[in-house]
Amino acid sequence: MKKWLPFYLHVVMCSEFFPFLVHADFEVHRNWLAITHNLPLSQWYFEATSEWTLDYPPFFAWFEYVLSHIAKYFDPQMLVVENLNYTSRATVFFQRFSVIFTDTLFIYAVHECCRCINGKRAAKDILEKPTFILAVLLLWNFGLLIVDHIHFQYNGFLFGLMLLSVARLCQKRYLEGALLFAVLLHFKHIYVYVAPAYGIYLLRSYCFTANNADGSLKWRSFSFLHVTLLGLIVCLVSALSLGPFLVLGQLPQVISRLFPFKRGLCHAYWAPNFWALYNAMDKALTILGLKCNFLDGTKIPKASMTGGLVQEFQHTVLPSVTPLATLICTFIAILPSVFCLWFKPQGPRGFLQCLVLCALSSFMFGWHVHEKAILLAILPLSLLSIQRAKDAGIYLILATTGHFSLFPLLFTTPELPIKILLMLLFTVYSFSSLKSLFRREKLLLNWLETIYLIQLVPLEIFCEIIFPLTSWKQQFPFVPLLLTSVYCALGITYAWLKLYVSVLTERVPVRQKAE
């Protein structure tokens, strides 16, 4: 227990600090509380009084249903469907409390992940131990803090489920890990991004009961019993989640809510991925075409991509992108990481690498990706960052750039100093702790990577201070978002490529092949 004292002290600090950072932007979840509390199951995925319709899988809907029966003792008015944008002190308190309480699962998951880490690295100070550094990187993750406790979401306990499933797989408790991930998918379907990593790893590590000395697999070692057990877990969880809606004949309606392809290629604020660069290139070519009289300005819709609206749009010069095209691009981007996991097995480390690459590839090429999805790669990459200097460098690039890309979520003046301070604290700690952990290694970042990250400072100054004072603000209000998205997309793309090169060129020790 003495060994984990700093960890528990850290948790106490987190739980004391979080309540002061909860933002009042929670109409989405207030509406879902009202829907699940007042309406029968058959109307949950049809109700459309608010623009924030229920678009999460059934397990999350039931989660809201359970919360609603506690919320009624705080303020029954928050559970009235027609009370759009309703707020009160009791409502705010309940929403704060619900996020903090459910984060206990995340704290437990972090504890389990720390137990899986090899802590043999010599350290004179407990603050330099890998397990302590990992605990801080996860518990004080800047992105998760602002998304859950300021912007307001319930990602903490969802990431807790994911990290706990990762820990169970690392502990070779495969059925528990599979069950946790299956449940997670029916809480929030965005985790399908990393499903290929889970599927391949479970197939190779659990369904094949024996490896040869050279790391190859023989079908005689294939366990149909293990495949059956995994299949039963997936089927039973899916039946519990989707079964009632299948009986009601509403499964197509549920699917249409979960995958709303008519929302367009990009979110109102472009996620910093490949499509942000694609959109920017199309915009630049359009401006160039108009100046050179190659395009007819009367046929180009005004602010078609930069109006800040969630809608479908057509590209002007470059080919317009369809959902099928994004699916194909994502599949191609994921494929090498899956092949590496199968043919170059490295145990839990290989699984984590594949998981991060699947998350990043889906973020890079997915349809209507939200900027918050970058956390799906940053958090598991934290586990790799404390094990190898090369991964630590990639983590610093991805975490710094990815977290900065979340700044537009907090756009009010009072939130400006809060987000900058929290970002600085987390970033300084990340750099200093990982540098001390790998003090014998070469520099974690080269000079070009360092310059790129430093340029985030003048970018923020321009977007938050200089641009609002210019006359461009009224005519081109989307410019700060565009600049932030495109610049961060460059860094995230670079981190994705660098991690891929690292995985593809990494040699696997013979003893790891035999695991």
Q: pLDDT tens across 92-131, in order?
A: 889 888 888 898 999 999 999 998 876 445 455 555 688 9
| Structural domain contains residue 189 | yes
**Three-state SS for 266?**
strand
| Structural domain contains residue 341 | yes
Q: Are 366 and 321 in contact (CB under 8 A)?
A: no
Tell me how many domains the chain contains. Answer: 1
| Structural domain contains residue 18 | yes
Instruction: Look up the domain containing 366 and give its range.
Output: 2-24+87-207+324-513
Q: What are the structure tokens assigned to 189, written together?
A: 């379907």
| Structural domain contains residue 413 | yes
Those residues with Cβ within 8 angstroms of residue 160's Cβ, 6 or more apart along the chain or in another chain? 103, 105, 106, 107, 108, 109, 110
Is the pLDDT assigned to residue 509 strictly greater than 70?
no
Query: What integer pLDDT is reported at residue 125 of this predicted model?
Result: 53
The three-point CA angle 362-366-372 to 5° equals 75
Query: What integer pLDDT is reported at residue 266 of this predicted model?
Result: 83
Q: What is the mean pLDDT of residues 457-465?
A: 94
| Structural domain contains residue 440 | yes
Residue 495 buriedness (CB in 10 A; 0-12 / 13-18 / 19+): buried
Q: Are 402 and 375 in contact (CB under 8 A)?
A: yes
| Structural domain contains residue 269 | no
Q: What are the structure tokens assigned to 471, written together?
A: 């006359």
pTM for this model (two decimals): 0.90
Q: Which pLDDT tens digit goes with each residue over 245-304?
A: 999 999 999 999 998 777 778 877 789 999 999 999 988 888 887 777 766 655 565 545
Query: What integer pLDDT is reported at residue 190 of this predicted model?
Result: 93
Q: Which pLDDT tens digit goes with each residue over 53-80?
A: 999 999 999 999 999 999 999 999 999 9
Is the pLDDT assigned to residue 16 strictly greater than 60?
no
| Structural domain contains residue 191 | yes
Is the pLDDT assigned to residue 41 strictly greater than 90?
yes
| Structural domain contains residue 227 | no
Query: What integer pLDDT is reported at residue 14 of this predicted model?
Result: 52
